[in-house]
Amino acid sequence: MKTKYILGIDPGYTMTGMVLYTDGSDEILEWAVHSCPKSVYSDLQRAIALSDAVVNTAARWLEKHYDGEVDACVELPILKKGRSANVVAFGKQMRLVQEIETGLYFRLPAVGPRAAHLTEVMPTESKRIATGSGTASKERVIHASPFQTWEEAASRDVLEALADAWAHGQAAYGVGGNRYDLSNMLVAKVVSNEKRA
């Protein structure tokens, strides 16, 4: 029986956490946190840089752990009603998620002949599966995760990003998320007047 790898991703402009583990195990095989300085780059540049780092890291991990299928789980942002500023934040988060998903769509199948899926996860769903409550606090998610005793995490923010990424991965086979098969990529047919050398 092939190993099922879970790639959990918690996208954020401040920090994007990602973890790789096997289905049914709390042993973390790989982990990383990516950040990009706000003062230097525009939001679009940051989204592209963060997604590039996430996708390249995922490809390296999956080349190393080659013996099974993979389910990448990415958190979707929630648009909260009643705040106009939240619409801007929601749009920025969706841009980052779309950049990551597009990169994974093209890179994961190229890593090797394996089943690959992408699952979009609502934060309430991942919290519910990981802790039993869809409204669980960050502290409760950390306590439920394998990162609760980790000393490698340099800060509270890093610990939260990793615990959230783990929780999103827990929803890989849960209900309530959009799941896409990346194994059978759709390739567009191109017709043009371009002359080829």
pLDDT at residue 191 is higher than 70? no
Residue 78, pLDDT score: 79
pLDDT class of 193 with cuts at 50, 70, 90: low
Please, what is the Cα angle at 7 between 38 and 153, to 5 degrees? Answer: 55
| pLDDT over threshold 90, residue 11 | yes
Per-residue pLDDT at 51? 93
Residues forming beta bridges with residue 181, ordered by sequence position: 117
Secondary structure percentages of the chain, helix, strand, coil, to 5 = 45, 20, 35
Looking at residue 116, its pLDDT comes to: 83
Q: What is the DSSP letter of 9?
A: E
Question: Under DSSP, is residue 191 helix (H, G, I), strand (E, B) or coil?
Answer: coil
pLDDT at residue 181, as a whole number? 79
For the segment 41-81, what is each residue's pLDDT rounded down to a tens digit? Answer: 788 888 899 999 999 999 999 888 877 888 889 998 877 76
The domain limits of the chain are 3-181
Q: Specify whether the CB–CB gap between 187 and 129 falls below 8 A.
A: no
pLDDT at site 89: 81
What's the CA gap between 182 and 108, in Å, rounded? 7
Domain 3-181: give its CATH code.
3.30.420.10
Residue 155 has a pLDDT of 83
Name the residue with higher pLDDT: 165 or 25: 165
Each residue of 125-146: pLDDT tens digit? Answer: 889 888 889 889 988 998 889 8
Greatest distance between any 2 Cα atoms in the chain: 60
**CA pair distance 74, 97, nearest whole angstrom:** 7
The DSSP symbol for 124 reads H
